[in-house]
Structure 1
Amino acid sequence: MSKKIEFNNSGGAEATLKILEHIDEESIKIQHTIWKNKPLKASKMLKKLSKETDFLEEQVLGLSRSLNSLAKQLDELEELNENDLNSSEFVAMGLQFLREGNWGAAADSVEKAIAALGPQGLGRSLSIINRHLNELGDLSDSEEVTLNLIREARQKLAKDDFKAATDAFERAISVLGSVPTGEALSPFLVNHFFLSIESKWPESTNNGLMVITVENLGDNNMSPMRMSIPTPLGWVTSPKMTEIPEIPPEGYIEIGVEMRPSGSITSEKMLGRKLAITTGYLANYGHLKVQIRVENRTLKSMEGIILDPWLPEGFEAMRLPFVQNLGPGQKVYLEVDVLNVGKN
């Protein structure tokens, strides 16, 4: 009988090393089971191991978020004291370990980097993240989790429980990742990518589905970004914000968000259910092209449709697209003239 391993979500070195050792052990056992001609047992073992591998992948991503968050905070300090310099060295070592695939050592470096900050440096980092999250307004699910962990860490630090404070802080930055201390540039100004937003209306439910896709067309990684869900009139989404993680060149991501009727408009009068609308945005370092695809989902003609597409901050439509007549099942494609009002 294989021994049961206890997993936790701390992201610490000990937990990561235990998982790596466990995966190695189970892989050998699966191989031996196949050799013994027991395919069903091997299949069950492989399915279980797959879940544990997925968990390890999330831990590694958490390590990357933690190290990059610490690196960004230290890079943006005007002066580094001795504690900051020590922490910076551990961060650099951790990033190197991460690149080499030495995840246990990388996790150990995260713990040492946070501890090296000392109470004063930790308090400074907690204040930066706390202020940033409070200034955001509506928060995504992961941002809510992070804010609660930051509050927990500040409470522990106020009670001089430095170890508990560092544990909560480590969990917080493993969830959130980098936090800008200054005003971040709009991703539409500094990236080349394609974004599409589509509203879908499954027949078997009264709810809708907002599908957001992003494809990185540039040569560099796209930094993580957050955006408010462009919800149609009469609908609500939860959460109101969504986070789009870092995307490598030629990378692609799809996010689905459920929409529910707000109750302010009757379903018979909701235009959204009668139309299938997809809006595409081609962003190229401050230049934005927008196209809308509209389909009449009803058996009746529709007249006088004005479309008001979501636009990122800093961009405005010079005129709103207008559809004079749209027959049953008919589709039209409309270009939106967009002006970059934030351009210097």
Structure 2
Amino acid sequence: MERLGTSQAGATELAREQTSDSGTGGAEATLKRIDYIEEEAENVQFAIWANRPMSAKKMLKTLSKEVDEAEGQIMDLYRALSSLERSLEELEEMSEGDRNAWDLTILGLQHLREGNWGAAADCVEGAVSSMGRAGLERSLNTLARHLNEMGELSDIEEIALTLVNQGKKALDSDLSSASKAFEDAISALGPIAVHEATSPFLVNSFFLSIGTTWPEGKDHALMVITLENTGENNISTMRLAPPIPYGWSSTPKMCEIPEIPPEGFIEIGIEIRPSGSFPQTALLGSSLNITTGYYVDYGSLKVQTRIENRTPNLMQGLLLDPWMPDGFETLRLPLVENLSPGAVVHIPIEVLNLREAIGIGS
């Protein structure tokens, strides 16, 4: 599709014009935040040199919060710009406003790669403004349709749908509020895959771990899912139903995993509860720490389970039945005959790739 838009200089100027009423520019705000982080890092170093550990600890806590906020802002901008890029790419024809929005979106992604997230924020605002009322209404309606077609929604998707509905209601009365609602929705959500995606276990390289712990004094378990991108390409946004056992429920019911760059890492905590009334002491999960690791390499899957006996008693006859992604099955369920008090064992799981098995048999 041919892109006929403004030059980079023109897009930069357009971004400035679109955000001229918002006070301090985003690029200037970026520099101020970077200067503040660098200054605080020096202050922490000086406090350590001066043997003032409590003061250094307090400043480090503040600095860590500032860095976390900056990281969250960067991810929001990346999701918003990626969503705009995806939605504009799918248009068969572009209006002048759409072309300006496209140029600002590409410029915003460039600013983000260069570390100038303030200027990238200006580009997001400018791109949404460039689309005008007609483009904004089209984008809100498209996003609402996709979300409504997804069935069970994650918490983030529910929030995004609420924002989209608020934006649609505000279109006639307050275009600025409608634009802000749309920006917030795409910042939280990122691009939505309209068509059914290929299984991420077939087209990526990553390490996934799933473990369960019982927080002290809580009436629920916590399932912890971690995912590390070990490949050279980004892992696209994916939706994952928590792999809970039969008879259990989870909160949330659906997880939204954002796009993960190479060497990127994410950790998600999910509350899980058994159906019915069971005392915690009667649940096997509170007596064992079980974590299963999955090494995925473009369709190849290696699985290993770690089991720890948390009790002072010998445990016998533990039959393992780990969760498997679609298209894979365990060849046999491993049996741990004896597990001493406090002992830890690592059990490799034999895995069958059903697609390969069907190919061999045909």
| TM-score for the superposition, normalised by structure 2 | 0.76
Structure 1 residues 76, 312: CA separation in 2 closer, same or farther (over 3 Å shift)? Answer: farther
Partner of 1:6: none
The match for 1:292 is 305
Distance 1:28 1:302, change over 3 A: closer
Q: Structure 1 residue aligned with 2:83, among 29, 45, 69?
A: 69
Where do 1:72-91 residues align within 5 Å?
72-91=86-105
- Matched to 2:251, the amino acid is S
Within 5 A, what are the aligned runs for 1:1-344? 14=24, 16=26, 19-20=29-30, 22-23=32-33, 48=62, 50-157=64-171, 159-202=172-215, 205-233=218-246, 235-298=248-311, 299-303=313-317, 305-313=318-326, 315-317=327-329, 319-323=331-335, 325-329=337-341, 331=345, 333-341=347-355
CA displacement at 1:318 relative to structure 2: 5.3
What residue number does 1:9 align with?
A: none
Contact 2:29 2:118 in 1 (8 A): no
Could you tell me the percent identity over the aligned residues?
A: 46
Indicate the SS of the match to 1:243: strand
* Cα distance between partner residues in 1 of 2:61 and 2:308: 42
- Native 8 Å contact 1:194 1:282 kept in 2: yes
Deviation at 1:149, TM superposition (A): 0.7
1:245 offset after TM fit, Å? Answer: 3.0
Q: Mean Cα displacement is larger for which, 67-76 or 26-35?
A: 26-35
CA deviation profile, 1:136-195 (whole Å, cap 9, x unmatched): 3333332222111111111112x3532221111011111111112222222112101111
Q: 1:318 to 1:211 in 2, by over 3 A?
A: closer
> What is the TM-score normalised by the length of structure 1?
0.80
With over 3 angstroms needed to count, the CA separation of the structure-2 counterparts of 1:14 and 1:149, relative to structure 1, is farther
> What root-mean-square deviation, in Å, do the aligned CA atoms of Structure 1 and Structure 2 show?
3.5
Residues matched between the structures, number? 329
Note closer, same or farther for the CA distance 1:277–1:15 as it changes in structure 2 (3 Å cut).
farther
Structure 1 contact 199–278 (Cα < 8 Å) conserved: yes
Q: CA deviation at 1:200?
A: 2.3
Residue by residue over 1:240-293, the C-alpha shift from the partner in whole angstroms, topping out at 9 and shown as x without a partner, is 222333333233333333334443545454332333322221212123233333
The runs of 5 or more residues in structure 1 that have no matched partner are 1-11
Distance 1:141 1:149 in 2: 13
Residues 296 and 302 in structure 1, CA contact (< 8 A), matched pair in contact too? no
